Amino acid sequence: MTPLHRIEERLRSLSFRQAFGLVAVANLILIGLAFALPADGGERGPAILSVLGNFHILALHIPAAVLLIVPMFEFFERHEQATSTVRRLSVFSAAGTWGAVLCGIFHAHFNGFEGDAVQLHLWGGIAASIFAGIASLLLSQGFLLRLVGQVVAIGVMSFAAHVGGELQHGDGFPFKPNKSVLTQRDVPPTPVVDNGQKRDDYAQVIAPILEAHCVECHGAKKVKGKLRMDSLEALKKGGSEGSAFVPGDLKKSLMHVRVTLDPSDEEFMPTEGNALTKDQVQAFALFIEGKPIPDDVAKAAIAATKAPKQAPKK
Ligand code: HEC
């Protein structure tokens, strides 16, 4: 008898009330941790805990896949009583979802995540763990009730996974092409203005610069200064200090103000890594003033976004 068999026997010997208590306590721990370790944008040590958090992205795929195949086994086996295969898969998916959410709470808290989308994903994940737990409690019930429990758990998990997918790959994922794929493939690498077709300066010049230099701290996952820079509307809306993009007004457009300060200024952007090049700053200025960005400036500005990142400035 392996240790796994022993665990299985222990779990099977639990009364319904005991099993309910176990699922309830496990998920209350997650809820407690979500409050104790909030996703508030702070980046923290110790490194080992933030590494554990990084495993969230790996860990979550395993229970998600197992949760999805439980109904398949139910249909193949179609027993009024849950077979041991179904039991093992269902309990494993509940425990695995719990573990993935635990890693996720660490991930968000230690690696500086914040914002509405992160909160939605966090609580969606906790709900998925609760419903996967309920599905495993329903194992003592008949075929139909078990199936309903699993389908509901899959639905909640899919919602949480979708929000997580959008965090990772951008709004509209998976039904829209990935933004970085867009900038790499669909946008001509050397934009032209002189062939009679007007270039979309925002989409083809400004957005790729923001994507490469700013969005890592000003996007869905991290919203420093309450400012997102992943769309034109978000730039106009601005952050806690006001709009980042005020057409025609360089002094009020914080996306320009912050990149033209003295690099030693605390408010200089980006706070770490590559400062913008002269051409990139000029592209921002022309765009804010509503003037077309000349070809050579656009080309040089885009080329500089592809430069490898330098070590963060002290
Ligand atoms: C490594 C993280 C990081 C990167 C990259 C970064 N920022 Fe920031 N940004 C911050 C932090 C932290 C704050 C909040 C503190 C502050 O206001 O200085 C902030 C605040 C801002 C604000 C003020 C928002 C407000 O209304 O309070 C603007 C504007 C801004 N950043 C522009 C930029 C631009 C433009 C880029 C890209 C060139 C950029 N940032 C890249 C971390 C970053």
Residues of the chain with pLDDT > 70, as a percent, come to: 90
Same structural domain, 104 and 205? no
Q: Which atom, in ligand 1's list, is nearest to the CA of 239?
A: 26
Same structural domain, 52 and 131? yes
How many CB atoms neighbour CB 147 within 10 A? 17
Taking the centre of ligand 1 as the mean of its atom positions, its distance from the CA of residue 201, in whole angstroms, is 22
CA dist., res. 161 & res. 214, Å (int)? 25
CA dist., res. 165 & res. 2, Å (int)? 37
Taking the centre of ligand 1 as the mean of its atom positions, its distance from the CA of residue 267, in whole angstroms, is 8
**Looking at residue 223, what DSSP letter applies?**
B
Per the CB < 8 A criterion, the answer to whether 82 and 90 are in contact is yes
- DSSP helix/strand/coil, 97: helix
Q: What is the pLDDT of residue 236?
A: 95
Task: Report the nearest-CA residue for atom 37 of ligand 1.
Answer: 214
Per the CB < 8 A criterion, the answer to whether 71 and 150 are in contact is yes
**Boundary-marking domain end, from 169, 192, 209:** 169
Average the pLDDT over 292-296 and give the result.
92
Task: Report the nearest-CA residue for atom 11 of ligand 1.
Answer: 224
Same structural domain, 231 and 286? yes
Q: What is the pLDDT of residue 131?
A: 98
- Answer whether the bond into residue 46 is a cis peptide, omega within 30°: yes
Task: Identify the H or E element spanning 266.
Answer: none
Q: What is the pLDDT of residue 8?
A: 93
Q: How confident is the model at residue 314 (pLDDT cuts 50, 70, 90)?
A: very low
Same structural domain, 263 and 148? no
Residue 105 lies in a domain: yes
- Structurally, the chain folds into a number of domains equal to 2
Q: What is the pLDDT of residue 313?
A: 41
Residue 119 lies in a domain: yes
pLDDT digits (tens, 9 = 90+) for 139-148: 999 999 999 9
**Boundary-marking domain end, from 169, 187, 209:** 169
Q: What is the pLDDT of residue 235?
A: 95
pLDDT digits (tens, 9 = 90+) for 219-265: 999 999 999 999 999 999 999 999 999 999 999 999 999 999 999 99
Taking the centre of ligand 1 as the mean of its atom positions, its distance from the CA of residue 231, in whole angstroms, is 15
For 288-306, b/e burial (b = at least 16 CB within 10 A) is beeeebeeebbbbbbebbe
Task: Report the nearest-CA residue for atom 9 of ligand 1.
Answer: 224
Residue 217 lies in a domain: yes
Residue 197 lies in a domain: yes
Tokens of 26: 């496990």
Q: What is the pLDDT of residue 10?
A: 94
CA dist., res. 109 & res. 246, Å (int)? 33
Same structural domain, 53 and 188? no
pLDDT digits (tens, 9 = 90+) for 164-184: 999 988 878 888 766 555 554
Task: Choose which residue among 261, 269, 274, 280 to substitute to test ligand 1 binding: the one with the highest number of ligand atoms within 8 A of its C-beta.
Answer: 269
Same structural domain, 154 and 48? yes
CA dist., res. 236 & res. 246, Å (int)? 6
Same structural domain, 233 and 116? no
Same structural domain, 19 and 77? yes
Same structural domain, 11 and 114? yes
- DSSP helix/strand/coil, 94: helix
CA quadruple 246, 252, 258, 260: dihedral sign: positive
Task: Report the nearest-CA residue for atom 22 of ligand 1.
Answer: 225
Same structural domain, 153 and 248? no
The pLDDT of residue 77 is above 60: yes
> Which residues line the pocket of ligand 1, CB cutoff 6 A?
213-214, 216-218, 224-225, 227, 238-242, 244, 254-255, 258-259, 267, 269-273, 276
Same structural domain, 301 and 252? yes
Taking the centre of ligand 1 as the mean of its atom positions, its distance from the CA of residue 218, in whole angstroms, is 7
Q: How confident is the model at residue 189 (pLDDT cuts 50, 70, 90)?
A: very low
The pLDDT of residue 308 is above 90: no
Q: What is the pLDDT of residue 175?
A: 83
Q: How confident is the model at residue 160 (pLDDT cuts 50, 70, 90)?
A: very high
Task: Report the nearest-CA residue for atom 20 of ligand 1.
Answer: 225
The pLDDT of residue 3 is above 60: yes
How does the average pLDDT of the chain come out, rounded? 90
Residues of the chain with pLDDT > 90, as a percent, come to: 77
Same structural domain, 31 and 162? yes
How many CB atoms neighbour CB 216 within 10 A? 16
Helix ranges (H only) for the chain are 3-12, 16-36, 47-54, 56-59, 61-77, 84-110, 116-137, 143-169, 179-181, 201, 207-213, 232-237, 254-257, 278-289, 295-305
The pLDDT of residue 124 is above 90: yes
Residue 314 lies in a domain: no
What single letter denotes the amino acid at residue 248? G
Tell me whether residue 36 is exposed, middle or buried, using C-beta atoms within 10 angstroms of its C-beta: 0 to 12, 13 to 18, 19 or more: exposed
Q: How confident is the model at residue 163 (pLDDT cuts 50, 70, 90)?
A: very high
Taking the centre of ligand 1 as the mean of its atom positions, its distance from the CA of residue 257, in whole angstroms, is 11
pLDDT digits (tens, 9 = 90+) for 21-65: 999 999 999 999 999 999 999 989 888 888 888 899 999 999 999
Average the pLDDT over 113-120 and give the result.
95
Domain span at 94: 3-169
Taking the centre of ligand 1 as the mean of its atom positions, its distance from the CA of residue 224, in whole angstroms, is 6
Average the pLDDT over 6-17 and give the result.
94
